[in-house]
Structure 1
Amino acid sequence: MTDTAAASPSLAASRAAVVAAALELFAEQGFDQTSVEQIAQAAGVSRSTFFRQFGGKDDVVFTDHEVLIDRLREFLAEPHQDPWAAVCEASLFVYAHFAADPDLARRRYAVVRGVPALRDREIITVFRYERLFDEYLRAALPGLDPLDAVGFAALVTAIHNHVLRSLLRGSKKVPVSVLRTALDEARRRFGVLPEGENAPADDEIVVAVFPRTMPTAELARRLREHLDD
């Protein structure tokens, strides 16, 4: 994926400073109580510079998503041998971006959760990712049943959001590998994971047979014994 921001590091740094300053002010005094002038002053930029970089306060909160969606659109426009894997790689790219600075991502999440209008925009933003994946699969796989395209796009998006929320709501790092494993399982269940790719090793498979009348607690105890051996 290309990094358009790399062509103008000073602009990227300026935007990042504005975002950091805005989120700090939103956390301290509230989103509605914070003015553009206060954000610009805290970030060391002029009011006109703020509006050149962002359309408004809410755009500051979602600016990363706008950049990410553009990058994903460029990435998915490239040729890919496995479109299903490409969608998963796109999801991983987004997650890695937020996981790289979890503290900033958590501050942003706290602000969004506290403002109804921002929560509504977040829902729309999530749908934009899902629609991008859906449209890509339909174009990359002519003849694909639309239900399969939208189903896989929704599944990937839901898994991504679940893992991301685990990162945002907790205090520990959730590595990208957690999402990758979950997406591999989604491809396996959907029937589009290439045979042999990330197949479980023999010692990862446990087969056990128990009487139907056995109490659930005893069944769980015996399973734990086998798994711990």
Structure 2
Amino acid sequence: MATTDQVSADPGAFRMQVVAESIRLFAAQGYEATTVDEVAAAAGVSRRTLFRQFHSKEDLIFADHESLLEQVGELLTGAAPGDDPWWSVCAAAELVFAHFHANRELAVRRYRVVADVAALRDRELVTTYRYQRLFEDHLRSRLPAVRPVQIVAYAAAVTGAHNFLLRSMLRGDPGADAATLRGELVRLHRAAVAEPGAAGAEIAVVSYPAGTSPEAIAEAVRSQLTQLTGTPCHDGLKQAETRGTR
């Protein structure tokens, strides 16, 4: 394949291209036996370009994690002031799972390559902790009154549940899917907000500006209840909307 010093205008697409080609070669030839030059040629870029974008051979196989970490960071920092910080962490975990589910074949090949190389297994552990640290930092910044141990425990639980189901999905467990992950995250969320001192532990009756329509109020309440219970809330709120318009 001809090489070029030009990188795709889409950095995320370029990283996925490099990940795909590096994992394909590592799986076929072995991690140690594959050279960076071979990966560069397969990806259609020069060795110089590849080294400008990545700092080591290990970076090649985990390159998409860098993009994912950026997306997780953006999701958390972009959360609105009124958003539930506990659930924002869950939403970030779902984002990561969705990426690997959508690219399952590639993720399975990486899983097998990493399992055979001790250095890659260590790198994977470090990468996993980087996600957890983002979760912890977000919760600390949004919930300064919550006990640090609760924040660490929650971030670790969300990370652990995600990773367990991700590995199960890669091993072919049909029950390890987005719906199962959502159910586990809902349970963790309920436990977090129920603990004394946790934000969201109480159900409050709030006021809305005069003129707010019953439909708008009902939709806001419905959204919160669905988030807390994991079950769409329709019938009771629809009745409330009807009464409010009479």
The interval holding the TM-score normalised by the smaller chain is 0.7 to 0.9
Quote the residue 2:237 is aligned against: none
Given that residues 137 and 149 in structure 1 are in contact (C-alpha distance below 8 angstroms), is that contact kept between their aligned partners in structure 2?
A: yes
Given that residues 112 and 119 in structure 1 are in contact (C-alpha distance below 8 angstroms), is that contact kept between their aligned partners in structure 2?
A: yes
TM-score with structure 1 length normalisation? 0.77
Given that residues 27 and 113 in structure 2 are in contact (C-alpha distance below 8 angstroms), is that contact kept between their aligned partners in structure 1?
A: yes
Given that residues 36 and 47 in structure 2 are in contact (C-alpha distance below 8 angstroms), is that contact kept between their aligned partners in structure 1?
A: yes
Give the 3 Å change call, closer, same or farther, for CA 173–100 of structure 1 in structure 2.
farther
State the 1:36 CA deviation: 0.5
Q: CA-to-partner distance for each residue in 1:37-66, whole Å, 9 max, x for gaps? A: 111112221111111222122101111111
Q: CA-to-partner distance for each residue in 1:140-163, whole Å, 9 max, x for gaps? A: 012110011101001100100011
**RMSD between aligned residues:** 2.2
Given that residues 26 and 34 in structure 2 are in contact (C-alpha distance below 8 angstroms), is that contact kept between their aligned partners in structure 1?
A: yes
State the 1:175 CA deviation: 2.8
Given that residues 15 and 64 in structure 2 are in contact (C-alpha distance below 8 angstroms), is that contact kept between their aligned partners in structure 1?
A: no
Answering whether residue 28 of structure 2 is matched by residue 8 of structure 1, we say no
Aligned partners of 1:199, 1:47: CA distance in 2, in Å?
A: 49
Give the 3 Å change call, closer, same or farther, for CA 82–30 of structure 1 in structure 2.
same
Answering whether residue 151 of structure 2 is matched by residue 120 of structure 1, we say no
Give, as a single letter, the amino acid of the residue that structure 2 aligns with 1:31.
Y
Write out aligned runs for 1:104-115 (5 A).
104-115=106-117
Aligned partners of 1:30, 1:131: CA distance in 2, in Å?
A: 32
State the 1:174 CA deviation: 3.9
What secondary structure does 1:143 align onto? coil
Q: Is there any run of 5+ residues in structure 2 with no aligned partner, and where?
A: 1-7, 195-199, 204-224, 233-246
Given that residues 102 and 173 in structure 1 are in contact (C-alpha distance below 8 angstroms), is that contact kept between their aligned partners in structure 2?
A: no
Answering whether residue 78 of structure 2 is matched by residue 47 of structure 1, we say no
Aligned partners of 1:90, 1:199: CA distance in 2, in Å?
A: 16
Given that residues 99 and 174 in structure 1 are in contact (C-alpha distance below 8 angstroms), is that contact kept between their aligned partners in structure 2?
A: no
Q: CA-to-partner distance for each residue in 1:147-205, whole Å, 9 max, x for gaps? A: 1110100110010001101111127584312111110011123345887533679xxxx
Quote the residue 2:238 is aligned against: none
Quote the residue 1:93 is aligned against: 95
Quote the residue 2:62 is aligned against: 62
Query: Matched residue pairs, number?
Result: 194
Paired-residue identity, %: 44
Given that residues 16 and 64 in structure 2 are in contact (C-alpha distance below 8 angstroms), is that contact kept between their aligned partners in structure 1?
A: no
Q: 4+ residue stretches of structure 1 with deviation over 4 A?
A: 192-196
Moved more, 93-102 or 192-201: 192-201
Give the 3 Å change call, closer, same or farther, for CA 172–37 of structure 1 in structure 2.
farther
Aligned partners of 1:18, 1:134: CA distance in 2, in Å?
A: 30
Quote the residue 1:133 is aligned against: 135
Quote the residue 2:160 is aligned against: 158
Aligned partners of 1:106, 1:163: CA distance in 2, in Å?
A: 13
Q: Is there any run of 5+ residues in structure 1 with no aligned partner, and where?
A: 1-6, 202-229
